């Protein structure tokens, strides 16, 4: 999950004891903290077994029932919020991105604009794990195909998203 004793000691010291442990690769167990300067927020959609990612530029409601601005208030400010992390667009394509929970295969929803912006990087990453880029991208719901968590679940089930074969996140 990406925890180290010396890093955790530093986290305790610099957070004034407010945060005792931090995982670099998990959004469930002791997730990393954010100040609020992130480009994206990932949030668990419990019924789907996956996550949604919303970028700062997307002004609409997301399937978790919150807009980016509301999510930012929940995730930012240096607090740990299990099931949510603030991150960069680039981090989505990292091999370490929520690796403890299964990584990029967990993405079930993101806005069209974000999917389009990072599709080449996602394509490279999913090839590494044996998925067909075009098929995987088509199985990620967006605001045109799903507005609620229930609609995301219907979409990923109908399209046989790889998340449906993974173990539950919690």
Q: Which domain CATH number covers 123?
A: 3.40.1470.10
Cβ count near 51 (within 10 Å) = 27
Cβ count near 12 (within 10 Å) = 15
- Residue 39 CA to residue 68 CA, distance in Å, equals 10
Is residue 169 a part of any domain in this protein?
Answer: no
Is 159:138 a contact under the CB 8 Å cutoff?
yes
Tens digits of residue pLDDT in 106-161 = 999 999 999 999 999 999 999 999 999 999 999 999 999 999 999 999 999 999 99
> Residue 67 belongs to what domain range?
34-163
Is residue 15 a part of any domain in this protein?
Answer: no
Q: What pLDDT is stored for residue 95 in this prediction?
A: 96
The helix or strand, by DSSP H or E, that contains position 85, with its residue range, turns out to be strand 84-87
Question: Using the 8-state DSSP alphabet, how is residue 103 labeled?
Answer: G
- Percentage above 90 pLDDT, the chain: 93
Does the pTM exceed 0.75?
yes
């Amino acid at each position: 999950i990406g925890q180290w004793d010396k890093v955790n000691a530093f986290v305790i010291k610099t957070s004034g004891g407010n945060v005792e442990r931090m995982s670099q690769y998990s959004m469930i167990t002791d997730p990393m903290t954010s100040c609020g300067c992130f480009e994206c927020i990932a949030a668990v959609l419990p019924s789907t077994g996956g996550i949604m990612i919303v970028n700062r530029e997307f002004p609409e409601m997301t399937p978790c029932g919150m807009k980016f601005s509301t999510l930012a208030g929940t995730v930012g400010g240096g607090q740990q919020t299990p099931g949510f992390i603030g991150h960069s667009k680039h981090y989505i394509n990292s091999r370490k991105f929520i690796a403890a929970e299964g990584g990029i295969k967990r993405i079930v929803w993101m806005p069209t604009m974000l999917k389009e912006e990072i599709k080449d990087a996602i394509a490279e990453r999913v090839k590494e794990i044996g998925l067909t880029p075009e098929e995987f991208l088509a199985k990620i719901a967006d605001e045109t195909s799903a507005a609620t968590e229930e609609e995301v679940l219907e979409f990923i089930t109908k399209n046989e998203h790889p998340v449906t074969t993974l173990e539950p996140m919690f």
